[in-house]
Amino acid sequence: MHYTTLGRTGLRVSVAGLGCGGFSRLGLKAGKTEDDAARLIEAAFDLGVNFIDTAPSYGTEGVVGKALRTIPRDQVVIATKAQVHRNNEWAPPERVVASLDNSLRVMGVDTIDVFNLHGIEADEYDYCLEKIAPALLEQKAKGKIKHIGLTENPIVDHTNEMLLRAMRDPVWEVVMVGFHMMHQGARRNVFPITQQKGIGTLLMFAVRSIFADPPRVAREMRALADKGLVEKWLGEAKDPLGFLIHEAGAANMTEAAYRYVRHEPGVDIVLFGTGSVEHLRANIAAIEKPPLPEADRTQLAKLFGHLAVGIGLDGHAVAPR
């Protein structure tokens, strides 16, 4: 496993991070038990993964707590989250603190390494900065939080609008950003700033569902070509990303997607979800491979670097198309 330092936090983290949400939720959505899911976390740890990302809304904090009965707490970095705006209701600071306290209790830990505000949109940012951040700084001073961050909602924010505002404010030490082969805006909007300011980056949506579903890629390309957003031949091709699969390139599309984001300057941790040990091993192997050939990366930038329309940014509340 390769390791890096998460921005100015000083945390030494694996470049592959285990996401406990997504479509799988560690297999819970497919009917696996919490004990099964905890063993999956243990398997990831045995393979060198030391960063675990969860959230109350995922329903997996308890699973993380079970895994921590056998994994030394000081050898893993735990990130969780709290929501500030849901169902048209703003969470007051005391409710966010109560969420933090409940996460500590459920996971059986004394501190959260990275505490993120969850899925923040541009019109929610001022509330986070003015009302919630001071309360989080108080909890950090008490030792309940080591580092504070926030995650964007790329499903609706295709141009990193919220992060462009947040990265000006030093309270946020870590950000989670959406970035993949057909959603490259963070290369311009986010990574130059995070690298300059030492803000740690957690990458989501590297694969999600789209790159595991080649027919869907072809459908999306046809729709984009019809709108004049990509070259005509991409809309006519049965396998528009097939140029990535060759002897000197990637073995399959999922591998290509992980290798593409893993070696992007400015990316610290690539988050992935899984529900099985076999899938876990395949994802880690892909993330650990070398960069895609430069010619392939250049072609991807040429074909899709201009897009800001949210291709392949599926929410996990419903099954992908």
Average pLDDT for 115-143: 98
With respect to residue 106, please indicate whether it lies within any of the assigned structural domains: yes
> Distances in Å between the alpha carbon of 132 and those of 7, 38, 83?
22, 32, 11
CB under 8 A, 24+ apart: contacts of 43-47: 43/277, 43/280, 44/18, 44/280, 44/284, 45/71, 45/75, 45/76, 47/1, 47/280, 47/281, 47/284
* Cβ atoms of residues 221 and 235 within 8 Å: yes
Closest CA to 186 of 206, 211, 215: 206
Q: For 222-249, what is the HEC assignment? A: HHHHHCCCCCHHHHHCCCCCHHHECCCC
With respect to residue 249, please indicate whether it lies within any of the assigned structural domains: no
Rg of the chain on CA atoms, in Å: 19
pLDDT at 316 over 70: no
Q: How far apart are CA 6 and CA 12, in angstroms?
A: 6
Share of the chain above pLDDT 90, in %: 93
pLDDT at 319 over 80: no
With respect to residue 29, please indicate whether it lies within any of the assigned structural domains: yes
Closest CA to 304 of 138, 184, 151, 170: 184
pLDDT at 166 over 90: yes
- Please identify which residue in the block is written with the tokens 């504070």: 148
Neighbours of 76 (CB within 10 A): 22
- Whichever domain contains 157, its CATH number is 3.20.20.100
Q: By residue range, what is the domain housing residue 50? A: 3-208+265-276
What is the distance in angstroms between the CA of the first residue and the CA of the last residue of the chain? 33
pLDDT at 144 over 50: yes
pLDDT at 317 over 90: no
SS3 114: strand
Which pLDDT does position 320 carry in this prediction?
Answer: 39
With respect to residue 28, please indicate whether it lies within any of the assigned structural domains: yes
With respect to residue 204, please indicate whether it lies within any of the assigned structural domains: yes
Which pLDDT does position 23 carry in this prediction?
Answer: 85
Strands 85-86 and 200-204: unpaired
> Distances in Å between the alpha carbon of 141 and those of 55, 135, 303, 319?
22, 10, 47, 40
With respect to residue 291, please indicate whether it lies within any of the assigned structural domains: no
Share of the chain above pLDDT 70, in %: 98
If one counts the domains in the chain, the total is: 1
With respect to residue 163, please indicate whether it lies within any of the assigned structural domains: yes
pLDDT classification of 178: cutoffs 50, 70, 90: very high
Query: Taking the CA of residue 226 as centre, how many other CA atoms within 13 Å lie in the half-sphere pointing to its CB?
Result: 6
Strands 3-5 and 12-14: antiparallel
pLDDT at 318 over 50: no
With respect to residue 288, please indicate whether it lies within any of the assigned structural domains: no
